[in-house]
Amino acid sequence: MPIRETTNFPMSSFEWSLLLALSLLWGGAFSLGQIALTELPPFTIVFCRSVIAAIALAAITAVSGQKIPIGRDAWLAFLTLGVLNNLLPFALLLWCQLRIGSGLASVLAATTPLFTVVVAHFFTADEEMTRARVVGVLIGLAGVAIAIGPAVPRASDNLMAGFAALGAAVCYAFAGVLGRRLRAMPPLPLATGQLAATSLLSLPAALLIEKPWTLALPGWSVLGAVLALALLSTALGYVLFFRLLSSAGAVNASLVSLLVPVTALLMAGTVLGEPLGWGVFAGLGLIFAGLAALNGQLLAR
């Protein structure tokens, strides 16, 4: 896989297609998570989501002839990514959704590019905080605010839930920069390794905190939501994410967080029956303008 030496160039059409596909997979995860939360607690969902996705990716890895590294350094990276890219943000966002809903949670998580710009500026050599990126993020976040409009006041009802979603965004920012440092590792083994680590880390939390054996057997809709979370939003999603990260860089890959809220709102409207106003579509226009600015199309560097 060719790896771009610097990520301050505009993304290619193929990278844009990966970004849009990823936004559909991860945007849909909020609605799927909301369905799963009706009968299952957060850490139990995180474990089921991670272990099923890890098994699926391990099988694909074996069939494709690739190998998962087993050295100490590799597993240290898997454990770190498992915490920053899966365990903490998955659990924080699910806990947040229980209190302020999937739409507002997805919008607060959309601050990931803003945090990533700052983190990448200090921890990478070729992703400086350019004017285009700062302005692009602000335009995109303004679009997110318009899209979510009526739900914003509810954030004051549970500030801890809002901070939890922002904490998830910070985790994703650090994970994106760390993942780019591991770009020499093929995306499939990297995604499989981090999900295996997440499974190991989330199991004790689920057993000790939530005692899932005391819960009633979930219904078919919840089981289907968990399977879709695992196989589509997680397994396929992270393969696409690491592929995009390796060629487009941490900041460009994090742009998916600006599209995810709009996708999540559209999914919520069609799957969960939540009403959608004109603000969603006005916000979508601003978000695409922000993406163009962040990618260097509207402002000179």
The domains of the chain are located at 13-127+155-257
**Residue 293 — pLDDT band, cuts 50, 70, 90?**
confident
Alpha helix (H) residue ranges in 64-130: 72-81, 88-109, 112-123
Q: What pLDDT does 38 receive? A: 92
225-256 tens-digit pLDDT: 999 999 999 989 888 887 787 777 766 776 77
Residue 36 has pLDDT above 60, yes or no: yes
Cα gap 112→170, rounded to integer Å: 6
Which residues, including other chains, have CB under 8 Å from residue 57's CB and lie 6 or more apart? 188, 191, 192, 195, 235, 238, 239
Amino acid identity of 228? A
Distance CA 160, CA 162 (A): 5
